[in-house]
Structure 1
Amino acid sequence: MNLDEVFVSAIRVNKTTPVTFSNLKKEEFASRNLGQDIPILMNFLPGVVTTSDAGAGVGYTGIRVRGSDNTRVNVTINGIPYNDSESHGTFWVNMPDFASSTESLQLQRGVGTSTNGSGAFGASLNLLTDAVADEAFAQISSSVGSFKTLRNNIKFSTGLLNDHIEISGRLSRITSDGYVDRASSDLDSYFLQAAYTDEKTQIKALLFGGHEVTYQSWNGIDATRLVENRTYNSAGAYTDENGKDQFYDNEVDDYKQNHAQFLWNQQLSDTWSTNVALHFTKGSGYFEQYKEEQDFSDLGFQPIVVNTDSINTTDLIRRRWLDNKFYGTVFSANYHKEKLDIILGGGFNKYEGSHFGEIIWARYAADSEIRDRYYDDDSNKTDFNIYGKANYSLNSKWSLFADLQYRTVGYTANGDDTGLVDDTFNFFNPKAGLVFDLNANNNFYFSYAVANREPNRNDYESGNPKSEKLNDFELGWRYVSNAFQLNANAYYMRYKDQLVLTGQLNDVGAPLRANVGDSYRAGIELDANIFLGEKWQIQPNVAISSNKNLEFFFERDGVLRDLGNTNIAYSPNVVIGNRLAFSPVKNLQISALSKYVGEQYMGNIDSDNSVLEAYSQTDFNIQYVLNFKSVIKSITLSGLVNNIFDEDVVSNGYFYTYDDDSSGSVQTFEGAGYYPQAGTNFLLGATVRF
């Protein structure tokens, strides 16, 4: 195993493990890495659905796997948890252009193996950052595209100095106006690595992070505007004193996040190795909003008298702050000898968060003082886990797998939205399976895994949420030959008290969830890699699934109704992807990438008003590499045309219901919003390597 890969070896798998997974190396996404976020680069993996608030893959982006949203996809970077501890979300916008410092990634669908951080309830994604470079290099990359998108970065490496030490780094800047009106992005990021390596030791010290300023675009649009004005953005809208519609020019999200990682792998003997990591993350930022007619009582203000008039509302500009720290350690020890492979590992992590609000301008300021906070609350979370995994080869064909994890989580919060929270969760997550190697080409596996997961911060807004439990059954077949590879698997994921998306958003645009009792996800996934001679390659995949809430109850028109089995929100039954690549000459690659996502519901009551229509998109990608024997070693030219057939794609939305008793009886009404994606758009890039 490459020494760089040891940092993720405790949580990654290969075909000897009964887990469903896909690998993606940097060479496979390099031609499309022109400034869009990592979820967009993963769009063509099996069972994956991606979306972008701004509509063009820059700024806030999201990913769903098997219908599970990004709060349920466990993400680690070099084995260290990345999901936000409170929301469980993954905010790639905080690390723009991170794909340019990613060596490879692995997406495990289903529960997967034990990992660090919040449990995987749909998938786990682990990223490995740049490997140590043997030779020194420097490179400059630039790309330009639609919506005034511009990406520039520089990378360098000293190569191995004295055969042991390497220093490397990257600086990036991305700007874009976005497809949606005013959905601009102003993104800066950096990556710095110092490494020491020899035959038995590798030590890395990493610093990386980013600063994002994005104009808010999380409101979506209604069905009428979807037809008449797809790019409309209501964020920042207000009416001035002359009755004219205006948009506040600084309705932005402004957040900085910096990471420090210290990684140490040591080969102790022919059979034992260890991996220890320390990490620290500091995040701080706010989103700013213009708000009209805000009640003094909601702000802690007392009414005031102006010209004999009693004033108890005001227009204002507010900032809602998050200032947090996340730190801890993860560790593992590996024993490998002949038929037995054992990994013992775990981690302890702590999160400290401060949530507060400031009013930076008000038309009527009442008795407030400068820097007053109209809310101020704290939260803390501790997360400890320990696990043991073992692979044992019974003979040349059969092997057994076992994985036991204990995890304990403590969470306290005191916000107005959460109420007083002081919860402790103790989870036992066993996993077991077997692998059968029929011959050198055919590999079969079966596994059963249990996962438990705590609620996130937003779940407490709706009351007293329960933790959720998942029993995951996976059955798969892998076929490998020189010209053809096939992965086929069937899964059945049975949930107890699953926290499913309701379709609604809270007041800051975050999706809300609710426990639903019993539910399941079941499906079949196929993906293949087919080589047609030396010039053609086809990589199709299809995911067909059924995703149901069992005996779902809903109160409509004041009456609690049993709707029977309903579809789980945001869970399309069909997702199809394909990549067709053609290399007519050396160093030239032309690809057509297509994606089809079937119809899905945005709520759990099977309402026609909650339907998100099926959509398809085809992208065109080209890359040509010019090699030189001079100061300039190579020039790589890349082009990407997204949505070449200009389809009206709507990849995400929201759905809500509300009751009105003004007529004398309770009536339930419904509404929906949509997030349109860009029509035909392009990115062109060049990378010069020295």
Structure 2
Amino acid sequence: MKTMKNWLLTGLLFMIVSTAFSQGKITGMITDGVGSLPGANVVIKGSATATSTDFDGKFTLNATTSTGEIVISFLGYENKTVRFSVSGGSTTNLGTIVLTSNSNELSEIVVKSSVVDIAKDRKTPVAVSTIKAAEIQEKLGTQEFPEILRNTPSVYVTKSGGGFGDARINIRGFNQNNIAVMINGMPVNDMENGSVYWSNWAGLSEVASAIQVQRGLGASKLATPSVGGTINIVTKASDRKEGGSFSSGFGNGRNFKIQGSYSTGKLDNGLSASILLSQTMGDGYIQGTQFEGSNYYVALGYATKNNKHDFQLTVTGAPQWHNQRSTTPTIATYQKYGVNGEPNTRYNADAGYLNGEQYNIRKNYYHKPVASVNWDYKINETTKLSTVLYASMGRGAGASAGGGVGGATYNGSVFLNADGSVNYDKIQAWNNGTGQVFFNGANQTRTKIGGVYQNSSSTGRTGQGTTASPYVYNTTSGISQTSSINSHDWFGAVINLNKKLSNTLTLDFGIDARTYTGYHFTVVNDLLGGGEFFDNNIASLKPAGRHITSTYATDVQWNVFDKKDYEKISFNSTGKVKWYGVFTQLEYSKDNLTAFVQGAISEQGFKREDNFVYLPTDPLSSTDYKNILGGNVKAGANYNLDEKNNVYVNAGYYSRQPFFNSVYPNNRSTVNPNLTNEKILGFEAGYGFRTRTFTATVNLYNTTWNDRYLKGNALPSDNNTYTEYVGLNEVHSGFELEASSNLTERLKLNAMFSYGIWEYKGNATVNAYYQVDNTAVPGFSGIPVYMDKVKVGDAAQMTASLGAAYEILTRVTIDANYNFNDKLYAGLSPINFSSPDNKGALELPSYGLVDAGFSYKMLTGKNKDKSVNFRLNVNNLFDKVYIAESRTNIFSDDNVSTTNAALGTYASNNRLYKGLADANQVYFGFGRTWNFTLRYDF
């Protein structure tokens, strides 16, 4: 018996020792081939042993057997099974394990709604690039929101004047008025002109789960204004993982930002909530561009226990004000206020001082909150209804200067200090009657009108004036700060029914309805020492006019429901747009083939109301709706050749309604007689390659844009006119390459190259009209402009980038990126091409920029599930001086005088900068900037 016990004890001890020695550790890192996947589940098959990946996508498991399989799962990706073998007490590193997307590349969300048209990897046949939240959060820093996209193919981004949120983006040579911007399936391009003002959306970088750029006609089922591409911004859902963050950052220009967020996660009762608040402020990089902005984001959700219904309420807004650089100086002006002939790239011709403090008469202030309700209803296993109702009430304006003094505007030479800053004290002194030295070197005193110093929109200049007979000036006018209010009320709904007809066919059908009212008028902000403002623009009050003393501060209006009663000047009109559309899509998906065909049709109605220009009895004071039909049809197919290779093609045709100012040109209520839809025809083909460590895509495209509407400048002989171009056509063709590679577990590379041929096709004609009533100018109808083969300007036609990130120590990473831009042409006006032997488009110097960063992530908490993150960004590391855009098209061999050729050319007068005539009006890009962020994630 005793012997039996000894054998049992010995056997049991042997089993325990054997088991202990068979235990070991399994490690590895989970990625999608582009970036790490934090929070992925890793479990040993057939056991309860499991863990999840950390912030870097890494995991460690204690194995209880010497061999077996681990199963990795992550929302939105195919499960993957990997075999392992581990010796007793040792550690086996499985290396980098790549998961394959089964829906889309957005790792932080699951897009429940079929309203949100997200392109799916190796399935949706469009050219697409996706920027995830981690990269946005890490690298954006103090850059503008669109700048995070600059290293994607065929994208060109500039800061324009350099004010907070004043950046602009081009895709495939098309400006952002012709790029559809969507937030959670909601279109946000202005319904009157297609504009997107990024200052109104400055907070999106903080609440976005991802940004997806679909180049070309895109995957959206809606009849969007997409010509160059679509930017899909998907925000964080209320039911995202429980936790939050707190961050603080600062940078040059006294930039400071603080942010906090928290999400409850999905509670047992189906409720969820997420909130984010932030505040930012600074002096700006450009002189006199101080700014302050806030951001709020609130998301509330509810899902039923059976998951048949899911509701999401989202409200977000970014109230802000920022001073601007609206005047585009010449290169010579930058050099004048620089040192030793080098340009002062920060110079701002709008900034100066008033009463001892910095002051800028040009200011933007706006608050544009957006609220949406998303309802996703799973009717049955094959039918799903997705609905989004949204509303936006924008309130705000852009402040500028009204009037002038003796013909000089606020930043005319007579008001500039020696350093080029505006002497606003001198303007205020003149306005209040203090004598000033002006044009003839003598002290001049302002003349009162009706016993007061009266400001108005008059610049104080009369007569046309020539060298022999100079302009006649008066001494009664003054300068005021005025604001052009551009507020709106916007309501819309998108409803989509998704029906799975069979295992291979899925049908979508939906409705897109929108209504928009835009309020446009001008108010007085500051008389700057004057006694009153005289306005004589209301037809029913002429000729007596009005004497106005009411002024309105340039403050952000937080309460957007308050429709303030302003005393308006200069103009007052209301634009109304109605949009009704239907759309459908049929998708076929079986094995390796996915194909779709989709179509949309919409009717837009445009109505204009104006009680300033027109008498109340005039029918034009309130027009009928001008209804215009438009739509699109698109088709495409993707075929996965094998696990690594796929190819796709797509084609589409748009008949796009013109914008509001094309229907009613020149702020008048007569319908444009040359009204026609713009026609866009696009073709695209692509190839994708994906392995465990390398991904690449190649795209070829051709887009034809016909009957483009463009309003031009006044005729040189008469400032009371404007011009309009008819039959203006463009062709944009190109090649795109995008690639990324995890060379090792620590080293990642990314690269991009794009080359475009963007040209005008054929010649166009120009008509001239009188501004007062839109009637034709005799003799100026059908005048040819010679545009054929002229390069499209305002965006680099060749771009490339190369970036690398290296983890030098655990969670200590350095990264750098080089971005190169070439074939960049000046912004063009067709009036430059009135002669068949014109010189074409002015090419600007190419340039390359290096950005660099340093990151350190310190894991904290009992389970190491929290982190403290340090991030340093340095943009334009080598302080490269470069021209980002030009508003003019002046060549080095052009004469410096249009009336006296004997004065020679810009080249012969040594008036060149990097080969460019110094009379060109340009914006230089920013020099070296930096920012540092400390963030705690919990």
- State TM-score, norm by structure 1: 0.88
CA distance in 1 between partners of 2:635 and 2:371 (Å) = 34
Q: Match of 1:162, SS?
A: coil
Question: Is 1:230–2:345 an aligned residue pair?
Answer: yes
The total of aligned residue pairs comes to 666
1:545-596 deviation line (CA, Å, top 9, x unaligned): 10111223588xx985535321112243211123211123332332112211
What's the counterpart of residue 861 of structure 2?
A: 629
CA distance in 1 between partners of 2:140 and 2:696 (Å) = 26
- Alpha-carbon shift at residue 311 of structure 1 (Å): 7.1
Q: Which amino acid aligns with 1:435?
A: N
**Sequence identity, in percent?**
19
- Whether the 8 Å CA contact 2:142–2:251 is kept in 1: the answer is no
1:345-384 alignment runs, 5 A limit: 345-362=510-527, 363=530, 365-366=533-534, 367-369=546-548, 370=550, 371-384=567-580
CA distance in 2 between partners of 1:435 and 1:474 (Å) = 12
1:88-107 alignment runs, 5 A limit: 88-107=194-213
What's the counterpart of residue 575 of structure 1?
A: 799
Question: Is 1:396–2:591 an aligned residue pair?
Answer: yes
CA distance in 1 between partners of 2:850 and 2:316 (Å) = 33
- Whether the 8 Å CA contact 1:576–1:596 is kept in 2: the answer is yes
Residues 317 and 401 of structure 1, relative CA distance in 2, 3 Å threshold: same
- Alpha-carbon shift at residue 36 of structure 1 (Å): 3.0
Question: Is 1:467–2:715 an aligned residue pair?
Answer: no
Residues 63 and 571 of structure 1, relative CA distance in 2, 3 Å threshold: closer
Unaligned runs of 5+ in 1: 297-302, 505-511
Residues 624 and 355 of structure 1, relative CA distance in 2, 3 Å threshold: same
1:459-495 deviation line (CA, Å, top 9, x unaligned): 4546655431110000111111111111111001112
Q: 1:108 aligns with which of 214, 217, 237?
A: 214
- Whether the 8 Å CA contact 2:747–2:807 is kept in 1: the answer is yes
Question: Is 1:681–2:929 an aligned residue pair?
Answer: yes
Q: Which amino acid aligns with 1:231?
A: R
What's the counterpart of residue 172 of structure 1?
A: 278
Higher relative contact order (CA 8 A, sep 6+): 1
What's the counterpart of residue 564 of structure 1?
A: 788
CA distance in 2 between partners of 1:563 and 1:105 (Å) = 36
What's the counterpart of residue 505 of structure 2?
A: 340
1:538-557 alignment runs, 5 A limit: 538-553=749-764
Residues 17 and 138 of structure 1, relative CA distance in 2, 3 Å threshold: closer
What's the counterpart of residue 192 of structure 2?
A: 86
Q: 2:144 aligns with which of 34, 37, 41?
A: 37
Q: Match of 1:477, SS?
A: strand
What's the counterpart of residue 121 of structure 1?
A: 227
- Alpha-carbon shift at residue 523 of structure 1 (Å): 0.5
CA distance in 1 between partners of 2:787 and 2:732 (Å) = 18
- Whether the 8 Å CA contact 2:324–2:364 is kept in 1: the answer is yes
What's the counterpart of residue 39 of structure 2?
A: none
- Alpha-carbon shift at residue 637 of structure 1 (Å): 0.7
Q: Match of 1:368, SS?
A: strand
What's the counterpart of residue 646 of structure 1?
A: 879
1:612-670 deviation line (CA, Å, top 9, x unaligned): 3222111002221111115992111111000011111322331279xx999699xxx99
Q: Which has the larger radius of gyration?
A: 2
- Whether the 8 Å CA contact 1:133–1:157 is kept in 2: the answer is yes
- Alpha-carbon shift at residue 99 of structure 1 (Å): 1.1
Unaligned runs of 5+ in 2: 1-74, 77-108, 336-342, 408-447, 455-473, 535-545, 551-566, 615-619, 667-671, 715-722, 767-779, 891-895, 907-916
- Whether the 8 Å CA contact 2:324–2:360 is kept in 1: the answer is no
Q: Which amino acid aligns with 1:635?
A: V
Q: Which amino acid aligns with 1:677?
A: G
- Whether the 8 Å CA contact 1:119–1:452 is kept in 2: the answer is no
Q: Which amino acid aligns with 1:406?
A: I
Residues 313 and 432 of structure 1, relative CA distance in 2, 3 Å threshold: same
- Alpha-carbon shift at residue 317 of structure 1 (Å): 2.1
CA distance in 2 between partners of 1:457 and 1:610 (Å) = 31
CA distance in 1 between partners of 2:398 and 2:488 (Å) = 15
1:88-487 alignment runs, 5 A limit: 88-116=194-222, 118-133=224-239, 135-162=241-268, 164-198=270-304, 199-227=307-335, 228-235=343-350, 248-293=359-404, 304-305=449-450, 313-336=477-500, 337-362=502-527, 363=530, 365-366=533-534, 367-369=546-548, 370=550, 371-393=567-589, 396-414=591-609, 422-459=625-662, 461=665, 466-487=676-697
Q: Which amino acid aligns with 1:203?
A: F
Q: 2:809 aligns with which of 585, 591, 594?
A: 585
- Alpha-carbon shift at residue 608 of structure 1 (Å): 7.3
- Whether the 8 Å CA contact 1:159–1:167 is kept in 2: the answer is yes
Question: Is 1:51–2:158 an aligned residue pair?
Answer: yes
1:106-140 deviation line (CA, Å, top 9, x unaligned): 11111113444642010011111103445432321
Q: Which amino acid aligns with 1:679?
A: G
CA distance in 1 between partners of 2:850 and 2:609 (Å) = 47
Q: Which amino acid aligns with 2:243?
A: F
Residues 34 and 43 of structure 1, relative CA distance in 2, 3 Å threshold: same
Residues 334 and 180 of structure 1, relative CA distance in 2, 3 Å threshold: same
Indicate the structure with greater strand content. 1
CA distance in 2 between partners of 1:648 and 1:142 (Å) = 30
Residues 34 and 572 of structure 1, relative CA distance in 2, 3 Å threshold: closer
What's the counterpart of residue 60 of structure 1?
A: 166
Q: Match of 2:796, SS?
A: coil
Residues 498 and 281 of structure 1, relative CA distance in 2, 3 Å threshold: same
Residues 547 and 346 of structure 1, relative CA distance in 2, 3 Å threshold: same
What's the counterpart of residue 508 of structure 1?
A: none
CA distance in 2 between partners of 1:582 and 1:148 (Å) = 30
RMSD: 3.5
CA distance in 1 between partners of 2:115 and 2:921 (Å) = 42
- Whether the 8 Å CA contact 2:750–2:803 is kept in 1: the answer is yes
Residues 686 and 245 of structure 1, relative CA distance in 2, 3 Å threshold: closer
CA distance in 2 between partners of 1:585 and 1:458 (Å) = 57
- Alpha-carbon shift at residue 519 of structure 1 (Å): 2.0
- Whether the 8 Å CA contact 1:643–1:681 is kept in 2: the answer is yes
- Alpha-carbon shift at residue 372 of structure 1 (Å): 4.2
- Whether the 8 Å CA contact 2:170–2:176 is kept in 1: the answer is yes
Q: Which amino acid aligns with 2:574?
A: D
- Alpha-carbon shift at residue 10 of structure 1 (Å): 4.6
Residues 23 and 664 of structure 1, relative CA distance in 2, 3 Å threshold: closer
1:359-378 deviation line (CA, Å, top 9, x unaligned): 24443534413334332110
- Alpha-carbon shift at residue 383 of structure 1 (Å): 1.5
- Alpha-carbon shift at residue 269 of structure 1 (Å): 1.5
What's the counterpart of residue 824 of structure 2?
A: 600
- State TM-score, norm by structure 2: 0.66
Q: Match of 1:99, SS?
A: helix
- Whether the 8 Å CA contact 1:213–1:252 is kept in 2: the answer is yes
- Shifted more, 531-540 versus 30-39: the winner is 30-39
Q: Which amino acid aligns with 2:493?
A: T
- Whether the 8 Å CA contact 2:238–2:300 is kept in 1: the answer is no
1:331-380 deviation line (CA, Å, top 9, x unaligned): 11212342112222231011111111112444353441333433211001
CA distance in 2 between partners of 1:12 and 1:138 (Å) = 26
- Alpha-carbon shift at residue 516 of structure 1 (Å): 4.8
CA distance in 2 between partners of 1:257 and 1:641 (Å) = 31
- Whether the 8 Å CA contact 1:93–1:212 is kept in 2: the answer is yes
CA distance in 2 between partners of 1:611 and 1:514 (Å) = 23
